[in-house]
Amino acid sequence: MTALFNNFTVNPKNDILSGLTVALALVPEAVAFAFVAGIDPLVGLYGAFMMGIVTAVFGGRPGMISGATGAMAVVMVHMIQKGNEVGDALATPIENLGLQWLFITLLFVGAIQITAGIFKLGKFVRLIPHPVMMGFVNGLAIVIFLSQLSLFPEVTPEGVSLWSEPGQWFSDLFANGSFWLMMAFVGLTMAIMYFLPKLTKKVPAALVAILVVAAVVIFGKLDMSTVGSFIRDGGGSGLEGGLPSFQIQIFSLLDTLEGHWGLIISTAGVLAAVGLIESLMTLNLIDDLTETRGSGNRECVAQGSANIINGLFGGMGGCAMIGQSIINVNSGGRGRLSGIVAAVALLCFVLFGAPLIEQIPIAALVGVMFMVVIGTFAWSSFRIINKIPLADAFVLIAVSAITVWKDLAIAVIAGVIMSALVFAWRNAIRIRARKHLKPDGTKVYQIWGPLFFGSIQNFNAKFDVRNDPDKVEIDFIESQVNDHSGIEALRNVANKYLDAGKDIKLTHLSPECKALLLKANPEFETVIESAIDDPRYHVVTDVMDAEV
């Protein structure tokens, strides 16, 4: 247990202040994602609290923030809608049955994620290539930026088109006081966050910016969109609520899932995958920013546990949030305390501080997120795009585009697949065979490059069984047989020489390759040269015998 708290806090002041900053930024995000999923905003806030507190204490990355996320909310929508339709069609209708199905689904999501952690699948994040990582952060920055645009007031009245009525459109734009007022306060927030750290880093610039903008708007009695008006415009009743309650009723609703278990399990699988990919990618990014190392497997278990608690106590679930994690790290939050403060503060907002938090201008929070966008985007990608291999540049751009078009999980999976195919092709064409004759007439094929599924066609083309002499040696001193396809290719070539009545020898094979060949073909005992018969090893053996 002590190991979990080794990184509890490095600087308590920084952790507490950065945690409060993150909590303020979490409110509109959680509410917005709840609206996306079609559920009550309080469910989103409860989900953010429970995800945040569990992963902050037990997660694999101190300073990383988890909560309700848009990537998971988008996946939930179809299942929630289907559940509501089923509930309405029952002889005794059940209100919000889709939400109850979500809670049940989160139990399976948590079980899948915990299983991934137990079997140490978190380590596979290391297989994500750098172009995929750069495309991921670029695409995510664009997604965060676009999500903030919906919080601005309408630029022009509905029906006025820039293309058909450009004069009217620009006239309405310049006359739109609400839009320009919000732009001004977004700019003020960004200016404070940019210049304050140059004067002092003792307080988080994001928190100061939010408080300054809020004070100006409140005391100036300016008519601007606030957190409270945002919730009411979306159909919510407000932030105020009680503690999360145990959802015992979900166990009595399992019979409503008859015929729909496939939907629940498939949705759970997708949610678990999206959550793990986004969290492990975020963990990797925060590792780079802080120059420390987190534990992906521990994060899998913590996130799974948090999703199970969400299902049992009425939250919408979630995963790591890259935007809030960067806010936290940039504000000085490096310990577990920062995440705990953020989660507890979020719950306190719901329990006690709803009237105050609802007065915070949306402009301040948008300004904070715009600065996150600037800090997240890998601007160096513009500088290196023409200096890296064309395939890597294509992967970088494709991952960015797919992230915006679909979601983060699909983009990362697609990027890894593209990179793997490029890697396989590059290695497939590397295999070479250097040929020479020994004094006794034996033809030697000295193989260079990896032998695997992608290179077996080129490997097979190197040999001329019909015209080769009676004695042939295939030397793997500069090659490695990497998979079963390679072993099968080697077996087939050897059998062709044996069927032609020729003497074939395989030298310098790895012990693993020898074992697999002999297991399937015991007669290869005479084909594979042992280390004692190998000329290169024979010299070493003589020396060792002489020394002994």
Q: Say if residue 423 is in the same domain as residue 441.
A: no
Please report, rounded to a whole number, the percentage of residues in the chain having pLDDT higher than 70. 94
**Per-residue pLDDT tens digits for 245-277:** 999 999 999 999 999 999 999 999 989 988 998
CB burial of residue 6 (10 Å; 0-12, 13-18, 19+)? exposed
Q: Does residue 231 fall inside a structural domain? A: yes
Least reliable range by pLDDT among 19-23, 200-204, 303-307, 460-464: 200-204
What's the CA gap between 266 and 263, in Å, rounded? 5
Residue 5 pLDDT grade (very low, low, confident, very high; cuts 50, 70, 90): low
What digits encode the pLDDT tens for the residues 104-123? 999 999 999 999 999 998 87
pLDDT for the residue 163: 75
Domain housing 404? 390-427
Q: Which two tokens stand for residue 484?
A: 């079963």
432-437 and 443-451: which strand pairing?
Answer: antiparallel
Q: Examine the pLDDT at 357 and tell me if it is beyond 90.
A: no
Domain boundary among 378, 409, 443: 378
173 occurs within a structural domain: no
- The answer to whether residue 199 is domain-embedded is no
Higher pLDDT, 309 or 207: 309
pLDDT at 323 over 90: no
> 522 and 434 in one domain?
yes
Q: Which pLDDT score is estimated for 108? A: 97
- Structurally, the chain folds into a number of domains equal to 3
Which pLDDT does position 124 carry in this prediction? 77
Report pLDDT digits (tens) over 129-179.
Answer: 889 988 988 987 888 788 788 888 877 667 667 777 777 777 877 888 888
Q: Are residues 261 and 137 in the same domain?
A: yes
Strands 432-437 and 319-320: unpaired
Say if residue 373 is in the same domain as residue 401: no
Task: Confirm whether 383 is domain-assigned.
Answer: no
Q: Decide if 73 is inside a domain.
A: yes
pLDDT above 60 for 547: no
Reported as a single tens digit per residue, the pLDDT across 490-499 is 999 999 999 9
Last residue within a domain, chosen from 399, 427, 455: 427
537, pLDDT greater than 50:
no
**Is the same domain home to 536 and 438?**
yes
> Is 481 a member of any domain?
yes
Could you tell me if 305 and 411 lie in one domain?
A: no
For residues 351 and 417, state if they share a domain: no
The per-residue pLDDT of the chain, averaged, comes to: 87
pLDDT in tens, 38-88: 888 899 999 999 999 999 999 999 999 999 887 788 789 889 999 999 999
The average pLDDT across 432-448 equals 93
CATH of the domain at 526: 3.30.750.24
Asked if residue 532 and residue 461 are part of one domain, the reply reads yes
Between the CA of residue 74 and those of 33, 35, 83, 267, 448, what are the distances in Å?
8, 10, 15, 11, 49
DSSP 500: T
Q: Is residue 52 part of a domain?
A: yes
Angle between helix 390-405 and 130-149 (nearest 10): 30
Structure tokens at 142: 């664009």
Task: Please give the model's pTM, rounded to 2 decimal places.
Answer: 0.76
Domain boundary among 367, 401, 427: 427
pLDDT at 531: 52
pLDDT at 410 over 90: no
Note whether 138 and 254 are same-domain residues: yes
pLDDT of residue 33: 81
d(CA 161, CA 164): 5
Task: Please report which confidence band the pLDDT of residue 548 belongs to, taking 50, 70 and 90 as the band edges.
Answer: very low
Do 418 and 433 lie in a common domain?
no
**Do 403 and 309 sit in the same domain of this protein?**
no
Percent of all residues in the chain with a pLDDT value above 90, rounded to a whole number: 47
Contact 106, 310 (CB under 8 A): yes
409 shares its domain with 307: no
Task: Please give the structure tokens belonging to residue 195.
Answer: 């210049």
Asked if residue 320 belongs to a domain, the reply is yes
Amino acid, single-letter form, for residue 520: A
Q: Which span out of 191-205, 243-257, 286-300, 359-373 was modeled with the highest average pLDDT? A: 243-257
